Amino acid sequence: MIVHALLSFVAVQEPFVPASPPPSPIARVEIQPGGGEVQIGGTLKFTARALDPAGQVVPRAEIAWFVGGDIGNVDSTGVFTGGYQGYARVTAVGFIRGQQGSQVFGEALVHVLPEPPASIALDNRPARVVAGSRLTITATPFSRHGDRRSDPVTFTSSNPRVAAVSADGRLRAVAAGRATVTAKAGPATETLVVQVLPNTVARLTVEPAAPAVRTGDVVQFAATARNAAGRSLGAVAVEWAVVAGAGLAQIDPAGAFVAELPGTYTVTLDVNDTVAFLTLGGGGSPTLAGSSRTFGVDSLATIGVGAELSLTNSALNGAGGVTNQGTLRLQNTTVNAGVQNAGLVIARSSTAFNGALSTVPSPEALATRV
């Protein structure tokens, strides 16, 4: 009988259902300000209130703070400190201590700005230039913690009659003397003393003259400016450029050349009105043109198949000579260098050949004077 009663009790017993926690009295968390901007190392004070559905402050509600990621951090009082450039999401959590499920979240977005420029690094420092030279000065600003900045850098000259410079760094050496070029980005400045030498440049020499280059190799070119007597003028600034090429290559202001893809590349350097050039690799390349310039060829230069060198009112000088496999187009130009022609030479309007012009026999070879 007792056993039967116990079984009956078990059969009719209801399953246990835990009680649901009461709803949170917090409807929303209000953060002030709703967002903002600070610089790296700067602070922004936030406050938060836990509000009920009627917009009234919830008694006994507490606020906890946290921020995701490493852009910054926030302390227990709501003070945010910027750590790195970027965006940080600051979160305030409203809750009732001891009441499960009472947490409600509020968020604010903070933009952490980089520090202002504290220093400027000049990418090239042309200390000695020849009158008539045109160079480009480039610079990069940095914050006090060494972070690269993107602020524009502007340039000025203390003596534009000696060395004039545009706001974007294009330097023109006007006359012999000294001038100070100042670069400015925000509160940061950097100066460069430029000495302008009298123009006595007759030709330029390039070393190495004909390097063997593989993709990825760094070739360091050096240039020597010489006067009419052949004497070196010492270290003077030149402007390097890769002006032609079917591939992908670059050269820095110091003359370091690197090719990322196979191809033909023409490297030029410029000082005053004198341009020296040489060609690397083989195959075709675009046109290299000059007007009222002097091209110096102290080492053998090549105009590749499909390439063209076009000179007007200019001079082509040097003992190295030119091998032409493409087109050499001349107008009112004096050629003082030897030309070995396996392509097309077109000479117009009083062009004079003071150096040897030899034609390599070829069905396509043609030398004409118009």
Considering the entire predicted model, what is its pTM? 0.59
- Give how far the C-alpha of residue 174 lies from the chain's centroid of Cα atoms, to the nearest Å: 28
Tell me the CATH number of domain 28-113, given options 2.60.40.10, 1.10.460.10, 3.40.220.10, 3.40.50.10470. Answer: 2.60.40.10
Report the length, in residues, of the chain: 370
Q: Position of tokens 């000179």?
A: 311
Rounded-to-integer distance, Cα 271 and Cα 197, Å: 12
Contact between residue 156 and residue 85 where contact means Cβ atoms under 8 Å apart: no
Convert the pLDDT of each residue in 97-115 to its tens digit: 988 889 999 999 999 988 8
Peptide bond into 160 cis (omega under 30): no
Rounded-to-integer distance, Cα 68 and Cα 46, Å: 16
**H/E element holding 64?**
strand 61-67
| Strand, coil or helix: 6 | helix
Nearest to 295 by CA among 340, 339, 350, 249: 339
Convert the pLDDT of each residue in 25-71 to its tens digit: 999 999 999 999 998 889 999 999 999 999 999 999 999 999 988 89
- The better pLDDT of the pair 21, 40 is held by 40
**pLDDT (0 to 100) of residue 279:** 63
Tell me 276's DSSP state.
Answer: E
**pLDDT (0 to 100) of residue 367:** 40
Least confident of 47-61, 268-282, 311-325: 268-282
Tell me the CATH number of domain 119-197, given options 2.60.40.10, 1.10.10.1100, 3.30.70.580, 2.60.40.1080. Answer: 2.60.40.1080
Rounded-to-integer distance, Cα 147 and Cα 155, Å: 21
Confidence of residue 142 (pLDDT cuts 50, 70, 90): very high
**pLDDT (0 to 100) of residue 184:** 97
- The better pLDDT of the pair 106, 337 is held by 106
Nearest to 115 by CA among 72, 155, 83: 83
Domain limits, CATH 2.60.40.10, in the chain? 28-113
**pLDDT (0 to 100) of residue 7:** 47
Least confident of 10-19, 184-193, 297-306: 10-19
Sequence letter at residue 30:
E
**pLDDT (0 to 100) of residue 340:** 83
